Structure 1
Amino acid sequence: MLIGNHLSASKGYAAMGKAALALDANTFAFFTRNPRGGKAKEIDEKDVEKFLNFAKEHEFGKIVAHAPYTMNLCAAKEDVRSFSKEMLLDDLKRMEYTPYNYYNFHPGAHVGQGAEKGIALIAEALNEALKPEQTTTVLLETMAGKGTEVGRTFEELREILDRVELNDKMGVCLDTCHVWDGGYDIVNDLDDVLNEFDRVIGLDRLKAVHFNDSMNDCGSHKDRHAKIGEGKIGAEAMRRVALHPLLEGRPFILETPNDDEGYRREIQMVREWTR
């Protein structure tokens, strides 16, 4: 199984690879820059080469980069949208140093403009940014529906995908906490939720899973992650997600509130489920 967690990119790609291996992970996620925005660290090509060799040697799966939370492609303010587009363009250039991996982002918040307007602005930005020659697959993340978030339903994500011209470069990252908080009952109706995803979006688009328990009840629209087995989803339901045949082969990324030892325990727990 491909399982890993979010790592700090501050020390470079090779260091992240070693940190992941130390946790018994074979994939990982990282922010392309400070999660709250700012300038990205310069790419060290020698460091990238070391990582690529290391990842091949240890049979790592695809890694999942994460855009900063400040990137909002459908912001009401034009300067915020422009800044977000610049980040997206820069990040996609940087992703090509580690080709054929995933770049995940929160679709954004429409801030009172309405979901339809937000969807149009997100698709417009993606149409400007995506290139036919890129190897990176860009993932829309399923959202909990807090505030004016776009992507709270599978239908909203489908609408974005339908408007993207190069949508063969697009996929979806399913966040277990977010879909639960968004009202999809993965505890009692996991098969139905995945079938609904397949009907609306298509399981071929589901490229990665953010594997998190939730502090909140189903449909709360609050987005508060919990450690595996310590939230309202619970260990047994999380186990069913991890073992579901329709999700096999995707990277599972832990975003639980943990330190390294906590992540090590969760990774070990998931590995024991799969034995």
Structure 2
Amino acid sequence: MTTTTAGVGTLLRGWRERRRISQLELALRADSSARHISFIETGRSRPSQAMVLRLAEHLDVPVRERNALLVAAGYAPAYPETPLRDPAMHPLRESLDRLLAAYDPFPALVLDGMYDVVAANQGVSALLQGVAPHLLRPPLNAMRVTLHPEGMAPRIRNFRQWRGHLLERIERQITMSGHEPLRALYEELTAYPAPPGSAEEPSASASASASASDGTEVFPFALPMRIEHGGRVLSFISTATTFNTPMDVTVSELAIETFLPADPETAAALQTLTPRAAGPGTR
């Protein structure tokens, strides 16, 4: 038999190995046979469009890369990539704007797959105080703004721990997606020098505990980001939300990032801050 689809077979094998799944396990999940999976991976068998999509689903391949698999197999992409400013996206943009506004005065923003900010509420202004203007030019990149020595980094009290958390998050995404532009961003971020004094930060276990105003120790359920603002230290717990079963590449890569107060003092301080327009808005 002649080799006809070595391209898609190589890509599928790469995804299978990245997920640490055997050919037999993948075959059982996809209602196929290990022999058929082997033939696809070596290019001896051309998978149908339905088979490519089924294997991609069981391998948890990101939507953008599913299109790449289909093209490599000789099929048209199955998922559109609609710009967020397209009229068809208007209901989504409206929903995102309402959600962000509902979080005010707590910071909330929408990120794309490269951590560029596509929308932000007014509460984000508390985080962007003192950031160099060149870092605020569109597209504003949340990771770059956070870790750059001219960004938020000098004001983050537990910078070493927060930096480690963010870099580990990007590493996991690179492992899951194999996205090369994201790898380039990761390499840029790891090259940034640490702000002065950050080497003196306490250990991660020590920084995980904080003291309330009455002296009572508080042990958060997640690592907080502790950042100086207006002579006070604000403490936040971050969450990230994505869309279930997205059918569009753009939507599949969006994440809603929220920063919730980690203590009553932060919640009270945010209520008193005068909001101002923040970030680039929805693009």
Q: Which has the higher helix share?
A: 2
TM-score when normalising by structure 2: 0.24
Q: Which has the larger radius of gyration?
A: 2
Higher relative contact order (CA 8 A, sep 6+): 2
